[in-house]
Chain A
Amino acid sequence: MITYLYAVGRDLERVPDVGSGGIAGGALRLVDEAGLQAVVSDVDREAFEDLEAHREDLAWLAEVARAHHGVVEAVGREHAVAPLALATVYLDDDRVRAVLRESRAEFAAVLDRVDGRDEWGVKAYVRPAAARSAAAGRPSSGAAYLRARREALREGDAAIAAAEREADAVDAAVAALAVEARRHPPQDRSLTGRSEQMVLNGAYLVERSATDELRRLVEELARDGSVDLELTGPWVPYSFAGRAS
């Protein structure tokens, strides 16, 4: 067995309450060192040594990802938390202690940055233009059809360009309310399950006291603007746990 590291905090007194435990149902433990607590569990060494073999086992990986997230989120519910990237494993608890000592400053910096704050996601989608195609009516000839089709494509491109400009404005408005902001690449349609193109996939670190303000702002932006907005969160601040950038 080896030690899987989920997250690091600094005011944890007991293991987080996760009904299903850690990866593969493993019992969670705290490793305390240098004023920090690491949340860990034992995992099967072979499974992680041979991650190559598991690469195609998507169900296994999805399960690991879910378990990882479940633990990190449970910690984040009551404490500032520094989430580790998936599959960070050590040979034993002593190695985890060494890492807590060595990287103490880095963990402390992340915990300072996220304390009292939540990550929120704002996504913007091009609003579908049902009216546009309906208004075109029945083409009188093949040439007219092609002309209308070209026109529709041009309008579609223009609509996307306009939506992208508006996405920049939405991002700027939300970022102004946030402590920090990141723009992730827009997700593909096959991921979102929506036919409309995503033009903004932003992550925002927001003071917990500003949550209502954020909700109001996004509602307002959605009401007044011409892109469809989606607000997700609060998230454990994964997007703001990396090295300062």
Chain B
Amino acid sequence: MNEPVRWTGSMPPTQGRQGGQAARAPGGTDLADILERVLDKGIVIAGDIQINLLDIELLTIKLRLVVASVDKAKEMGIDWWERDPTLSGGRHELEEENERLKDRIAALEQAQARPARRRKKVERAPEPEEEQ
């Protein structure tokens, strides 16, 4: 084949139609299409470890939806997560970050709790005088 292995495009550039439904970029790969084939098709032969195909069908739908929305976002140039180490990188970084944030929240809550009590006392202070 002397053409690109994957060729994807709208046929033809639809007459006079504009905006909105952008045609997929030629050469772009639609993962929803890949998943449809990889998960649903191909030779099904018994492996040594049984994988429940019934559930894979359900999973396909879920996966497709997630991936389709990711691809759609990329199409629109929203791809910040690919450059964000906490999202594209390993889990450990994310967990560490999570722990650090939890610690900070705890510290902030403690700091918040003290002045709050003081304020309450101030507010309550005049009450006995009014009652008397």
Contacts from A to B (Cβ < 8 Å):
2, 5, 8, 48-49, 51, 55, 58, 61-62, 65-66, 68-69, 72-73, 77, 82-91, 95, 99, 103, 106-107, 110, 118, 121, 127-128, 184, 187, 190-196, 208, 211, 218-219, 222-223, 228-235, 238-239, 241-242
Contact = CB atoms under 8 A, between A and B. Distances in A.
Central interface residue in A2, A91, A127, A228, by most chain B CB within 10 Å: A228
A83 B45 CA distance: 11
A42 to B, nearest CB: 14
A215 to B, nearest CB: 8
A90 B47 contact: yes
Interface stretch (B28-36, B100-108, B119-127): B28-36
B128 to A, nearest CB: 58
B1 A62 contact: no
B59 interface: yes
Interface in B19-50: 20-21, 24, 30-45, 47-49
B5 interface: yes
A86 B70 CA distance: 21
Contacts of B24: 230
A232 B30 contact: yes
Contacts of B69: 190
Nearest to A83: B42
Given A85-B41, A208-B1, A233 B6 contact: yes
Given A2-B49, A62-B66, A110 B43 contact: yes
Interface residues of B, number: 50
Contacts of B64: 187, 191
Given A184-B36, A190-B65, A194-B21, A231 B11 contact: yes
A3 to B, nearest CB: 9
Nearest to B64: A191
B112 interface: no
A113 to B, nearest CB: 11
Given A73-B5, A89-B48, A222-B11, 15 more contacts: A8-B43, A48-B51, A58-B67, A65-B34, A65-B63, A68-B38, A73-B6, A85-B39, A86-B39, A87-B47, A88-B45, A103-B45, A190-B68, A195-B21, A211-B3
A72 B31 CA distance: 15
Contacts of A84: 42-43, 45
Interface string B66-82: 11110110010000000
Nearest to A201: B36
Contact of A65 (B35, B41, B43): B35
B33 A48 contact: no
Contacts of B36: 184, 187
Nearest to A118: B1
